[in-house]
Amino acid sequence: MESVIKILKDAREYGMSVTVVDGDMLNVKGPQTQVAKKWLPILKEHKDEILQIVKNEKINYERIEKVKSTLRKGHTYFMGVDDKIFEIADKDELSSLEERMLKHLDTWTEIEAEELRALYEYEGCIYNDGKCPPMGRVPVRCTYCYENSVAESST
C-alpha cells in the first residue's frame, strides 16, 4: 500500500490529479505529455488500491476539518478561562481552575499532535487563514504557528 501512496504522490508532483467517479472509476487529469502517458498504465495497474486510498483521503479530509473545528473551539475555551483566572480571588478555586485548564491543555496537545498531525499528516495552521490569533489574545498557538514563530525569532 505504501508504494501506491508513493505512486500517487509522484503523479501529483507531475501535475496529475486522481479522483473517484461513481464509486469505482478513476478520473485522472493532468498534462497531456509523455509523463501522463507514462502514468496512466501505472495508475490503471494499481486501480483497486488507489480507489481505496482516494476514498480514505475524503474521509480523512472530513475528519481533519472536524478536528480543526474542535481545536478552534478550544481556543475560544482557553480565551474564556484566561479571563476567569484574573477574576478569581479564592486561591483554592484558582488552583482547581488551573488544574482543569492544564488537563484541557494536555488534551488539546494530544488531539493536535497525535491525531491531527501524526495520524492525518496535517501540516498547516488550524485556522483557515493559516495564522493563529496573536499571543496577546490567546494563551496557546497551534504547533505550526508556534514552531514558525520560534524559527522567525531565532533568525
- Residue 103 above 80 pLDDT? yes
The whole-model pTM stands at: 0.53
Residue 155 banded pLDDT, cuts 50, 70, 90: low
pLDDT in tens, 60-84: 777 888 889 888 888 888 777 766 7
Domain positions in the chain are 2-45, 60-154
d(CA 109, CA 115): 9
Query: Tens digits of per-residue pLDDT, 18-27?
Result: 877 887 888 8
Cα 113 from Cα 87, distance rounded (Å): 31
Q: How far is CA 131 from CA 119, 127, 143, 145, 148, in A?
A: 22, 6, 11, 7, 10
**Half-sphere CA count of 152, side-chain side, radius 13 A:** 6
